[in-house]
Amino acid sequence: MKFTPQSITEGELLLIDKPLEWTSFQVVNKIRWALKRKFNIKKLKVGHAGTLDPLATGLLIICTGKMTKKISEFQDLDKTYIGTITLGATTPSFDLETPINKRFPLKHLNKEKIIEAKKNFIGTINQYPPIFSAIKKKGKRLYEFARIGKKIDIQSRKVVIYNLEFSKINLPDLNFKLKCSKGTYIRSLANDFGKSIDSGGYLSSLRRTAIGSFKIKNSIQLQEFIEKLKL
């Protein structure tokens, strides 16, 4: 990590492994603060190219300075994830951010039914974003409506699932690997998959491993990045 004030303002691309329970916005703020302090820069643009939920970990592309102009290009890239769908229950947020609100039987499920149902989630699909999401509607984030219990119409969107593999089926958990287009909500996929097999489903873990050709193996942990800046 050999940065200079000029290189930071001209534009650097950082691959950061986002820690659990951090928002993407918090990661951006932490990096901006650390860079400004290290190089004594008064104003610095820093942004990320694709949000990860607080309960997800993995690859964040962070851009500084003039590189922030390319953020939209990086956002358009395909994403790759690994994670776990837990069947037999649902949550309002479709993940563990909110507690379980309904439970469903699992006795009717087996590996063959699960593999067969998976076929309906490959290719172009219609998907409804979770109500607990940052998408704006009427000038507010959807999660703002959700937290006050207000119902609001959400438009579906077309997304592409290029590949979905279950690496392990150990009910109620399905460990998966997924490659998808931009704008795909993995939480919605978990919820929809549960419905398709007459069961509930929610996302119990998620890790982004790639954005286009950018890989998690080439990233750096946030805290390690901050510590190296101090050297």
pLDDT at 155: 74
Question: Would residue 173 show up in a list of annotated catalytic residues for this protein?
Answer: no
Q: How does pLDDT run across 65-117, given as a tens digit for each residue?
A: 999 999 999 999 999 999 999 999 999 999 999 999 999 999 999 999 999 99
**SS3 call for 23:** coil
pLDDT at 135: 55
Q: How does pLDDT run across 147-199, given as a tens digit for each residue?
A: 545 566 667 789 999 999 999 999 999 999 999 999 999 999 999 999 999 99
Question: Are 192 and 96 found together in one domain?
Answer: yes
CA–CA dist 54, 30 (Å, integer)? 15
The pTM (predicted TM-score) of the whole model is 0.90
Question: Are 54 and 119 found together in one domain?
Answer: no
> In the structure, what pLDDT confidence band is assigned to residue 132 with cuts at 50, 70 and 90?
low
Question: Are 84 and 14 found together in one domain?
Answer: no
C-beta of residue 18 within 8 angstroms of C-beta of residue 27: yes
CATH number at residue 100: 3.30.2350.10
Residues 6+ apart with CB under 8 A from 172: 86, 87, 88, 89, 106
Range of the domain at 38: 5-76+213-230
**Active-site residue, from 17, 53, 95, 192:** 53
Q: Evaluate if residue 136 carries a pLDDT over 60.
A: no
Question: Are 95 and 52 found together in one domain?
Answer: no
> In the structure, what pLDDT confidence band is assigned to residue 223 with cuts at 50, 70 and 90?
very high
Question: Are 24 and 89 found together in one domain?
Answer: no
Q: How does pLDDT run across 115-130, given as a tens digit for each residue?
A: 999 999 999 999 988 7
Pairing of β 201-211 and β 56-64 = parallel
